[in-house]
Amino acid sequence: MTAKMAEPEPTRDGRAGPWSRALFARAERVIPGGVNSPVRAFAAVGGEPPFVVRAHGAHIVTRDGATLVDYVGTWGPALLGHAHPEIVEAVCRAARDGLSFGAATAAEVELAERLCELVPSLRGGLVRLVCSGTEATMSALRVARGFTGRDKIVKMDGGYHGHADMLLANAGSGAATLGIPGSKGVPDAAVRDTLTVPFNDVEALERCFSQHRGVIAAVIVEPVPGNMGCVLPQPNYLQRIRELTMTEGVLLIFDEVMTGFRLALGGAQELFGITPDLTCLGKVVGGGLPLAAYGGRRDVMASVAPLGAVYQAGTLSGNPLGTAAALTTLELLRRDPPYAQLETSARHVCEALLKAAQVHGVALTCNRIGSMLTPFFCDGPVLDHADAQKSDRRRFASFHRDLLMRGVYVPPSQFESWFVSTAHDARTLETTVAAAEAAFANIVLHA
Ligand code: PMP
């Protein structure tokens, strides 16, 4: 049937048209829910997802012929825009020399050296390359447990650290969107040692520590949570976590899979001046390829095999394509740090959303730090997962549909962050602002 359809005319309407709908019907027959990661589903906003054929700079192009301004940015990695020519070139060059060796390379040493220079908690420490954020957090926690000889871990309500069993307790991101923050298939035993506390609540963490003295291995936290939507740490909150963990002999793990290299070259830890014991990196560092890392204090990381007795391994770890993409990304960021530009662009989007909401009398709180932002459809402040839940999700769904219709692609869930890239120029920002103004007018009419 699809073969007989006329090729689509160029458009701005990003909603799934006949081509995407036909592909989705095929996808549903062979892929659970038709998507390879639940956050890509349109369950929370209605309709089918548009299928993507290519992406360049700040834009994605759908199978139905729409060119859309993209704020998903492949869920974070596309800090420098899609298909940055220097990154693409580096990957192609590396590919010609072999796709994977499963053996030591100079490039992986160089990358580890670079990471240990740029990220404060890695200075003087050790780092291990892996292929996904999930692997990084899962491995860092195993190391923390191995090093301390303790079993319990603490995470935040609405914090998301990938899909390892022990971390699917009050989890954010797609798990929160779909209402399955504690997944089926996770044995009780796997989450028995996972304690959760609200973000930005020092007293709750103190209570948790005093109830479980001497048995907590680590606190794992997104220093700026992005998976309950974007939520900012209150002044001194991260500092207090650092002090409390230090006092209790608990390791502090910053999950900077989202914030690493996005908020600053040295990540949120550099921005806030807090040094965790271990750090997890992913997304931006891989430049769009499956590359992630975890590392930190030398004494702690010395537990990792073959140096120590904590086992962690990977066939494709440090593979030449991911490593080439990462080295080029870091070089581009070092050569020309984009953070001032990202700040200006993202502030512009945020302010335009707030202004349009105000004009149309829509309650809106827009949390933003650097190039991460989330508009919540409620009065603020939004300081934790419970606050984020107060957002009017019907209004969000209406807003999402309207933006998509007008050429702007944002995450199909209230509980995600939008990402601005260096490729978002004045024109793309104006498209966004115009679309948002129209979308807010419609919310009042329809939602
Ligand atoms: N940690 C954080 C903070 C994340 O945002 C994510 C992914 N959204 C992960 C870990 C998991 O990373 P991956 O999807 O690469 O496994």
Q: Ligand 1: distance of its center to the CA of 70 in Å?
A: 19
**What range does the domain containing 208 cover?**
85-335
| Statement to judge: residues 193 and 302 lie in one domain | yes
Contact assessment for residue 196 and residue 216, using Cβ atoms and an 8 Å cutoff: no
Asked if residue 10 is part of any domain, the answer here is no
pLDDT digit string, tens, across residues 170-192 = 998 888 888 888 899 999 999 99
Cα–Cα distances in Å, from 237 out to 202, 246, 355? 7, 14, 30
Asked if residue 11 is part of any domain, the answer here is no
132 lines ligand 1 (CB under 6 A): yes
| Statement to judge: residues 350 and 310 lie in one domain | no
pTM: 0.97
Q: Ligand 1: distance of its center to the CA of 23 in Å?
A: 27
**Which residues have C-beta within 8 Å of that of residue 345, sequence separation ≥ 6?**
371, 420, 424, 429
The residues facing 196 across adjacent strands are: 155
| Statement to judge: residues 191 and 263 lie in one domain | yes
pLDDT digit string, tens, across residues 251-307 = 999 999 999 999 999 999 999 999 999 999 999 999 999 999 999 999 999 999 999
State the CB neighbour count (10 A cutoff) for residue 440.
23
pLDDT digit string, tens, across residues 60-73 = 999 999 999 999 99
Query: The tokens of 71 are what?
Result: 């704020």
Cα–Cα distances in Å, from 279 out to 104, 255, 285? 23, 6, 13
- Provide the 3-class DSSP secondary structure of residue 413: coil
| Average pLDDT score over residue span 240-248 | 98
| Statement to judge: residues 239 and 92 lie in one domain | yes
pLDDT digit string, tens, across residues 301-349 = 999 999 999 999 999 999 999 999 999 999 999 999 999 999 999 999 9
Of all protein residues, the one whose alpha carbon is nearest to atom 10 of ligand 1 is 161
176 lines ligand 1 (CB under 6 A): no
**Which residues have C-beta within 8 Å of that of residue 77, sequence separation ≥ 6?**
283, 284, 286, 287, 288
Q: Is the pLDDT of residue 1 over 70?
A: no
Mutation test residue for ligand 1: of 160, 231, 256, the one with most atoms within 8 Å of CB: 160
Burial of residue 1 (CB within 10 Å: 0-12, 13-18, 19+) is exposed
State the CB neighbour count (10 A cutoff) for residue 302.
14
What is the band of 443 on the pLDDT scale with cuts at 50, 70, 90? Answer: confident
Q: Ligand 1: distance of its center to the CA of 133 in Å?
A: 5
409 lines ligand 1 (CB under 6 A): no
CATH of the domain at 272: 3.40.640.10
